[in-house]
Structure 1
């Protein structure tokens, strides 16, 4: 009975000690076993691990790829045109021991702060050495790769691997936007005025060519009309001459009738002539001359 009273507490203590010496590492984590702040064991594979109870402690870190958004910062490229730039980086812990020694107990949060400083310095170094057009260009892969290489080299001392860096924003500062928009508007208005002027000039050329064509066609039509009229008059005179040659009296008669028709129109129907005027020869005789 006394032995049972002794064994049970001892057994409970042993079981508690064994359980406290076991720890589990998740597949998304990496772990360090520390003894009085010194690294005694590195556990990077998921599964069970063991430590000395009460003396050693386990510190876990996220073993996945992490993201970091930098705060917007103003940079000045080669052409002194200020830009607001921020970036997004993907990184992970590559060496747990170096990472612990570099950031201490603060862990991921301290690493994020130091990594952001490294990225900002790399961004200023690279983008400050190129013109703003290169920064604003759609193809910035080369610039981002250079920033990534510098950040990767500097972050290696933290036990961190920088996997990728992407520029997410490259804009003008707010105070420069109005001036930039005004300059763009003035440039577009100038281009519009040039286009309008060129269009007016082209329209004037077309209009002048059309007017010239109208004059040429009208002149040609008048010329052809005069030619046809001349040919018709000539044909008419020929016919009259032929008719006169055949019967001069009939020709004189028809000419007199034409004269009567023209002289006795409605608007000119009153004529004052002497009774023996030759104008009425064919009206007062039968045209035989008797």
Structure 2
């Protein structure tokens, strides 16, 4: 009985000591074994680990990709316009020994605060070197890459790896929006006026060209028409001359009949002619005189 009274507590104590010497590393974590605050061992592989009970302790850190939202930051661009920027970063703890030495017992919260300072400083430097139009444009990938690359070395000194930096929102301060909208409106109106002026100028050129071409076409057509009429008149005169040479009497008769027709077309009520005149000789011959 006396032996059992001592054995059971001893077994319990040994079991507690044995259990306290074991620890489990999750696959999503990395662990440090510390002895009196000093790093003794790094446990990065998931599974079961051992430590000296009561002397050594285990501190675990997240091995997953972490995200950090930065507070809104006001940046002055190279054109002296202020821009409000919201950004976030994705990072992970790569070197737990360096991380522990850099942030101490503050852990991930202290690291996030120091990472904020690094990213804010780098964001101010990069965005301050470009114009506000570059910052507000949709193509900001190059700026985000510059911020990430500039912060990599300082983050590495904390044992962190920066995977990505993203600008979520880039806006003008509220007090600058109205002036900016007015300036943008004035610029668009000026561009519209320039386009209208260029359009009117082009229209005038087109109309002048069309008028010139029309005048040239009409002139050329009239010239060709006159040539054709001249050629036709010459041809007609040649035909008449040939006809007159072939039968002068018939030609004279035809001319006289045409003269009678024109006389009657004029609608003259009365004419005084000599019956023995040459003009009426064909009429006289038709009546048998």
Instruction: Answer yes or no: same fold by TM over 0.5.
Output: yes
User: In the aligned structure 1, how far is the partner of 2:232 from the partner of 2:94?
Assistant: 109
Structure 2 CA distance for partners of 1:92 and 1:18, relative to 1, 3 Å: same
Once the two structures are superposed, what CA deviation does each residue of 1:213-240 show, in whole Å capped at 9, x if it has no partner?
2222222222222222223323333443
**Secondary structure of the residue that 1:271 maps to in structure 2?**
coil
Structure 2 CA distance for partners of 1:43 and 1:250, relative to 1, 3 Å: closer
* TM-align CA RMSD: 3.4
State the partner residue of 1:282: 282
Which runs of structure 2 are paired with 1:125-274 in the superposition (5 Å)?
Answer: 125-132=125-132, 135=135, 138=140, 139-140=142-143, 143-145=146-148, 147-149=150-152, 151-152=154-155, 156=157, 159-169=158-168, 171-175=170-174, 176-265=176-265, 268-269=266-267, 271-274=269-272
User: Taking structure 2 as the reference length, what is the TM-score of the superposition?
Assistant: 0.77
User: In the aligned structure 2, how far is the partner of 1:238 from the partner of 1:129?
Assistant: 92
Offset of residue 49 of structure 1 = 3.1
State the partner residue of 2:30: 30
Q: Does 76-85 or 48-57 show the bigger shift?
A: 48-57
Offset of residue 92 of structure 1 = 1.3
**Contact 1:43 1:49 (C-alpha < 8 Å) held by counterparts:** no
User: In the aligned structure 2, how far is the partner of 1:223 from the partner of 1:115?
Assistant: 89
Query: Paired residues, what number?
Result: 281
User: In the aligned structure 1, how far is the partner of 2:207 from the partner of 2:73?
Assistant: 58
Structure 2 CA distance for partners of 1:84 and 1:185, relative to 1, 3 Å: same
Offset of residue 287 of structure 1 = 9.0
User: Taking structure 1 as the reference length, what is the TM-score of the superposition?
Assistant: 0.77
User: In the aligned structure 1, how far is the partner of 2:99 from the partner of 2:226?
Assistant: 109
**Secondary structure of the residue that 1:285 maps to in structure 2?**
helix
Offset of residue 75 of structure 1 = 1.0
Which runs of structure 2 are paired with 1:4-153 in the superposition (5 Å)?
Answer: 4-33=4-33, 38-39=37-38, 41-46=40-45, 47-53=47-53, 57-85=57-85, 86-92=87-93, 94-96=95-97, 99=100, 102-104=103-105, 106-132=106-132, 135=135, 138=140, 139-140=142-143, 143-145=146-148, 147-149=150-152, 151-152=154-155
User: In the aligned structure 2, how far is the partner of 1:31 from the partner of 1:237?
Assistant: 122
User: In the aligned structure 2, how far is the partner of 1:161 from the partner of 1:67?
Assistant: 12
**Contact 2:83 2:172 (C-alpha < 8 Å) held by counterparts:** yes
Structure 1: any 5+ residue segments left out of the alignment?
Answer: none
Structure 2 CA distance for partners of 1:284 and 1:269, relative to 1, 3 Å: farther
Structure 2: any 5+ residue segments left out of the alignment?
Answer: none
Structure 2 CA distance for partners of 1:229 and 1:131, relative to 1, 3 Å: closer
**Contact 2:42 2:97 (C-alpha < 8 Å) held by counterparts:** no
